[in-house]
Chain A
Amino acid sequence: MRDDNVRKGILVPGLPHPLLCPEKNEGWQRVRDAYDEARKEIEATDAEILIVYSTFWPSILGHQIQAFPEPEWTYVDEEFHDLGSIDYKFRMDPEFAELTVDKCKERGLHARTVSYYGFPIDTGTIVALKLLNPDNRIPAIVVSSNMYANRAESIVLGKSIRDAIDSSGKKAAVIVVSALSNRLHTVEIDPKEDKIHSLKDHEWNSKFLEYLGKGRLEDVSQLSRQFHNEARVPKVVSFKPFWIMASIMGQNNLYDGNVLAYEPVWGTGSAVVTMTPAEDTAGDLEYDEDDPEFYKGDREVLDFYDQPEMGSLEEANGH
């Protein structure tokens, strides 16, 4: 294993079924089992901080970082409320959250901690922390997913988080909560009949998993725009989780990839994958995107893909 402050990167899906009712579908159970495997992989490292980036937590005012020391609630998912309530109590690292905000600001990002009793922590984060860190052995921070952020801002966010890890001297595990294809069944289904929503989604998921299995994290990051166009319901401007993950982990293909599960959860491509820093590169880097160090505001460049015209941004005119 390559000596790196980020000991492990973990991709997990965020829907509640593997937590609340894995027994209803063999695939959901396999995802649950894979969560357990990933937990053991984390436990085998000396990681001291968990960095959670959840695509289930949208933000607008820059990047929000959860810093309430012990968030506690009885949570109900707004869609799958009939699966039951989830009691949780987590342990955050407020100091590390503040450090991350400082590092974000140093790179030009707008960021703040949120530390309020009762703050609505998202389903994806709850499922991930319940299953990957059940006894709160390792403290965590949770980073939001800014709705409007595109690639440059996401890459800089990842680098800012990396700065925080390196300057803290802590060993970290990075948990990214996201489905691959996110098209879910919009009708009630018999859980036993669950399947990936479309063959096209499945093919794109398979392509990404093939790369991830070879440790080609940076290549997957570089393909994010295309994946967004092909296999995502475009609720936000872009598909960001691999930009963030690759940026935190060093923007290369130097990993041992371990695909622990890939199953449909209510039609979505739900994979559990771990990435461990390795000595050998998988090669075939697809570096064709730029590598920004600082965020200087939205340049409002024309994108290849259809995106609504957002108009001038506030920070662009100096307010």
Chain B
Amino acid sequence: MTRKTWVSATAGILAWFAAGCAVAAPQFSFSKTTVLAGARLFAEHCSACHSVGSLRYNRLAALGMSKADIEKEIMLPNGANYLKGMEPAMDVADATKWFGIPPPNLSHMVRARGQKWIYAYLTSFYWDPARPSGWNNHVFPNAAMPDILAPWGGTYASDGKLLQPGLESPAVYHQQVAEIVDFLRYASDPSIFERHTIGPYVLGALVLLTLFAYLLKREYWKDVYNRGNGKQARGPKQG
């Protein structure tokens, strides 16, 4: 293979790699701030039914929220444990009775579905009187979940017509949904900030080592290249 083929193949792989590192949609300004904002919104609207069983409440302290705030704003008053995973407020048996299926644990939902999907799902509810809950969803037809965000985001018909405006402007509302998704993205992989903090040091150290290794290799291999000019390669070291 020619050098050019190699270069273009490498460039292609790098481009694909970079595409995945970049955040998928412009609304996701993923940071500790948006994750905490999302956690507050989640506690307010979603924690009634959904657990985030793998994520312990005290994890949020590492993102800069005080224990007192976590207890007040995130933990529900039903005796949730600061050191344990996030629990729903509602009794699972009750929820199962009302919705037909238990509301799932959302810990891994972003990893399983992708953040774009969750965002689209949360913003794709429409009013459908034929459904027991009165709600349906374009992305997930016949979802058991009602549009609990409708009072803020507005109620839409299936053709997209606005039936009843929400309390928030569309811009603020979409920003808030994106924050909830940011929180769930963090919840699905809480190593992300740690990874991104140490990543540059690890890569930097490896690049440095590789550079030294390259110089060492070049030094040794001078013999091999010189051998063609009649010089002798360094022989095996006698033990």
Q: Do A and B come from one complex?
A: no
A-side residues, CB < 8 A to B, are none
